[in-house]
Structure 1
Amino acid sequence: MVGNVLLAARILIALVFVASAVSKLRGVAAFQSFETATRGMGVPARLVRPAAIAVLAGEVLTVPLLALPPGGLAGFAVAAVLLVAFSVGIALAVRRGTRQSCNCFGSSTTPMGVRHLVRNGFLLAVVAAGVAGAVTGAAAPSHPAAIAIVAVAAAVGALLVIRYDDLAALFVPDRPAASRSTVSPRVGRP
């Protein structure tokens, strides 16, 4: 069972980081959009490009590290560092009231917010589960059906994480700033 969790964590985190890296590598405009988001997290202007390059390098490096023994511990470590850094940056942006979009998985109009912290919390929990599985020396599933089920479940989980902004908008749509007033309009009164 622990081996299934470890394999699922490795696959889910790898797919999330692949999607994130690819979204930044799509072209110059995509990378510049990520740099803008990085600036919105409070990174000083002179450090924006180096920070964005370091994040991209970390995302790319995470994927092969997750495939290495023992249990992808190095990949989980890099993923954890990146996720904590993202969470701190997002929390600071939210605290300052920055309306900058996240651009975690490509161009997005959704401003950084609590939902991004929730997503990162989930990913950190997956990383923690993966680390726990790797530390215990859990053996990966060996039955092809078990591997297939775990891989599909992890892929679905990764897809849900990647499309999280869209899914969250179904339940808590973003409202324009003008409609966020705490004063409720008088309904039915002249």
Structure 2
Amino acid sequence: MEYLTVASQALLTSVFGWAAVSKVRTFASFRQSLRQMVPGRYVGVVAAAIVTAESGCALAVPVSAVVGLMACLGVLIVFCLGIGVLLVRGVSASCACFGAGGAPLGRKHLVRNGLLAGIALSGLVTNIDTAGELQMAGVLTAVFAGLIGAALLVSFDDLAELFMPSTAR
């Protein structure tokens, strides 16, 4: 079970790291996407806070599983609440979650963030102090699985589009 924690750490470090780096690379576009969601005078502060939170999670997870996974879980809960509020209010905004050109916010973003929160929670639950040593092959396999999962979740918008009914053109 401790390998699930390792896989969770690899996945969440990758996802949060990718999100933070892509937002920094396209910071002007990211700020612009927030203008539809946040009052104008708070856009800069919110953009910086999101990048800081995501960077902090990406850095904390490999250092301390408990602290990092709890931070990820907290950030993901805040993201889910924010998206939920926007959806209830009927705000139509694009998600620049992983850089410019994101899909409009919708239920699929709640699903993705819910999956990520579940992964963080499962990593926390399985982070039981065991007397056994982790085997290198198991760690490498868990990290690889986490990286594959991260790639799938970063591409979630595109994958969801493949399986969702298309609208008339």
TM-score (norm 1): 0.81
Larger-Rg structure: 1
Identity %: 33
Partner amino acid, structure 1, of 2:113 = N
Query: Structure 2 counterpart of 1:150, which letter?
Result: A
SS at match of 1:105: coil
Aligned to 1:45: 40
2:135 counterpart of 1:143: yes
Give the aligned length. Answer: 169
| Alpha-carbon separation, structure 2, partners of 1:91 and 1:68 | 31
Distance 1:154 1:46 in 2: 38
Structure 1 residues 56 and 11: alpha-carbon distance in aligned structure 2, compared to 1, 3 A threshold:
same
1:137–1:174: structure 2 CA closer, same or farther, 3 Å change rule?
A: farther
1:125 and 1:11 map into 2 onto residues whose CA distance is 14
Greater RCO, 1 or 2 (C-alpha within 8 Å, sep 6+): 2
Pairwise CA distance, 1:4: 0.6
In the superposition, relative to structure 1, how do residues 139 and 67 fare at CA in structure 2: closer, same or farther (>3 Å)?
farther
* Residue of structure 2 equivalent to 1:118: 111
Distance across 2 between alignment mates of 1:141 and 1:156: 24
Q: Which runs of 5+ in 1 are unaligned?
A: 180-190
Partner of 1:11: 10
- The runs of at least 4 aligned residues of structure 1 exceeding 4 Å deviation read 138-141
1:107-141 CA-to-partner distances (Å, cap 9, x unmatched) read: 1241000000000000000110111123x225786
